[in-house]
Amino acid sequence: MKEKLLKLLFAFLACCSSAAHAADGESAEILVLKFADARTVKFLLADKPEINFADGKLIVTSQSLTTNYEQSQVVEFHFTSVALGVDKNIADDFSFSYLDNTSVSVSGTHARSVSLYDISGRLVKRQHVEQGRVKVSLEGCTPGTYILNLEGEHSFKIVKK
């Protein structure tokens, strides 16, 4: 039943979603996921992600990212528009940003470190997280698929073009 409601909500959002552009400058759409434990996850991506459901998981996929969450834990998701560089709320909860094909920014994480692996599983770099924030540079990384792992939290598949 919950899966059907989420699918209907997504279909409604997909049909009705329109980006509200900020008068002050550039804006972007973000995907917001809200969870049963009151956590919120926000994705700021260059390309609008798709939402799918399979095997009890809500799967977020875009050209540059793939990740999934237990569907039973997701109570709401929606797209919204934010003014880039202006919206302070994007950093209040967990947020993931990959806009420029050169760096990944994460804030609101409880991980102590982040590791970047290439597709063969080789560790490319490891960084410490400071005050819940980390920015991982992909400069010097060859185009391809990488796994960004937040220690003890979550992993993301990233495609560098």
Q: What is the pLDDT of residues 80-130, one digit of tens each?
A: 887 766 444 444 578 898 878 899 999 999 999 999 999 999 999 999 999
In whole angstroms, give the CA distance from residue 82 to residue 84.
Answer: 6
Tell me the C-alpha to C-alpha distance, in Å, between residue 112 and each of 33, 38, 125, 139. Answer: 23, 21, 14, 22
Tell if the pTM clears 0.75, that is, is over it. Answer: no
Q: Pinpoint the alpha helices (H) of 23-151.
A: none
Per-residue pLDDT for 16 more than 50? no
In whole angstroms, give the CA distance from residue 45 to residue 79.
Answer: 12
Cα four-point dihedral sign 64, 55, 12, 42: negative
Provide the pLDDT for residue 4. 47
Provide the pLDDT for residue 27. 75
